[in-house]
Structure 1
Amino acid sequence: MKKLLVVGSINMDIVSNVQNFPLPGETIPSTATSFFPGGKGANQAVAAARAGGSCTMIGAVGEDPFAETLIHALYNNGIATEHVLRKKGTSGFAIITVNEEGENHIILSEGANGQLTSDDVAASVGNWSNVYAVLLQNEIPWETNLSVMTSASGSGVHVFYNPAPARPIPEHVFPLIHTLIINETEAAVISGLAVSDPSTAAEAATWILAKGTKNVIITLGEKGCFYQNAQGESATIPAFRVKPVDTTAAGDTFFGAYTAASANGLPVEKALTFAAAAAALAVTKAGAQSSIPGKAEIEAFLLSEKKY
């Protein structure tokens, strides 16, 4: 089985449910508080592992009580955690307040994620032999991401990149990226083009591919996803119709599931359909990692939809 390496963030999501958001200076009761292991890097590692990928996590946690819980959440999903480093200070965490209408306020503290250096990653990787792809996001320092991209690409390892939270990509970085997976907002930030449907997604993908990236996938919510590669081949995969409960980890689930399917040899369109099914299942459950489906559940869903 080809190995996947995830370099990215590991957070604890602290979610409090309230009737209404407090006014400045006001103290209000919470109807419930939950703790969910999260962080885009960790979520994507869990999604890849549950989808059948052989996955190793490189990241950082702090010295607080959350650290062991976060590491065990990865380990219990079959992810190799020997390269999850301990840093001084706190682990990354998000304080999330959700009102009765489902709206949220989020305060994100990067904690140990902000201390993950390129030297840390280089020491953890050693060499890139037997690695099929590295998965990257934007919740660790940019300098670390860039170093990983350069080293991986130069060693013939696929770079799968999800630039979230969204930020522009420097010109010289596009050729380092094997597969760029983005949503409409991220596509607009990167290309400067408004994206709302497969037609406009094709325009943005063409712009990105001209910069040197080999494959572009743009997720379009209920309109499915659009794929195009440097050879001009393209595909539009419709979304599965489900009743959403919580969309928190949908993008991370798609990213991890697609990468695992690709590593395991599925052709692009089948891998995209597999990832779309995984994301659809994820939005039917609450929480981040707790909502991510396993391979058997994804395959059963695809069979029920006559897509497998």
Structure 2
Amino acid sequence: MNIFSKGLLLLMISPLFFVNQGITFQPDLFPIKAKEIRHSFFIAGPNFTGIIGEDGEEIWDSGKKGARDGYVLKNGNILICWADEVREYSKKKKVVFTYSRAEKTMELGTVVRLSNGNTMITESGSNPRIVEVNKKGEVVKSVPLKPDTDNIHMQTRMARKLPNGNYLVPHLLAFAVKEYQPDGNVVNVFRTDLADLGGREAENWPFTAIRLDNGNTLVTLTHGNKVVEFDANGKVVWEINNSHVKESPFVDPCGAQRLPNGNTVIASYGAQKGIKLFEVSPDKSLVWSYDGHRVHHFQILTTNGKPLMGTPLK
């Protein structure tokens, strides 16, 4: 049995494929000591795009490196975004959905399956935008973006659609996370060049922005080597960086995920060796780490054999 078959078999018998994302997870039902933490997770990375088991071994490989974003969907399919295309794979590794960039100079950066079955994708280029496409790959909605730069690669990163129908979009060189209405109007901005964060000299380029259940917004700041949480007014209410963790694991943090237990998992994309992915508690203790493949973005799937419930905050 090859690695693909083995991986798919393991995935198909996993309760992950039967997770109802609407179920609320109760952390106290799963007491886990730090030394016992084991995660399985999806990686979108420069050298590997696939799934890692709780034992740290590869159990599914897309066969294409360099992915930027992706999700394991509740039906078990795997939705992945590369710079040039989006693919959705079935459990049997059949490609069941694709979307390709219209121009070679464009970059795709985000992919999210929406509750109505459409797929949200960001396009960076001469006319940066968010598109929502139907199952046929046809654009059914287009939202213009304002990244404040013509540098295509640095325009936009992990955009997400909010429950109110707006879009939360990090713009690196604008030093801002902007909330857009569907008509492209900006209704809120979180500044990442605040003096308290070191100003523009700190190069706090926002990469991933996550709207939390309490209304706060979690943001990774790549070259700034920190992760912060803003309240609704844009005030920093939580920050973690290398000064808080003796292992100094922050090396160009890109992806992040807030877990149901309140911990935060962070990808150190720039790390060439050592820790590539790590979990910290609210009190800034390092409780888990992974030192295998490099990680651009990711999705934690299970912890100690139990699937994470609810919509992943990533």
TM-score, normalised by the number of residues in structure 2: 0.35
Q: Which has the higher strand share?
A: 2
TM-score, normalised by the number of residues in structure 1: 0.36
Q: Which has the higher helix share?
A: 1
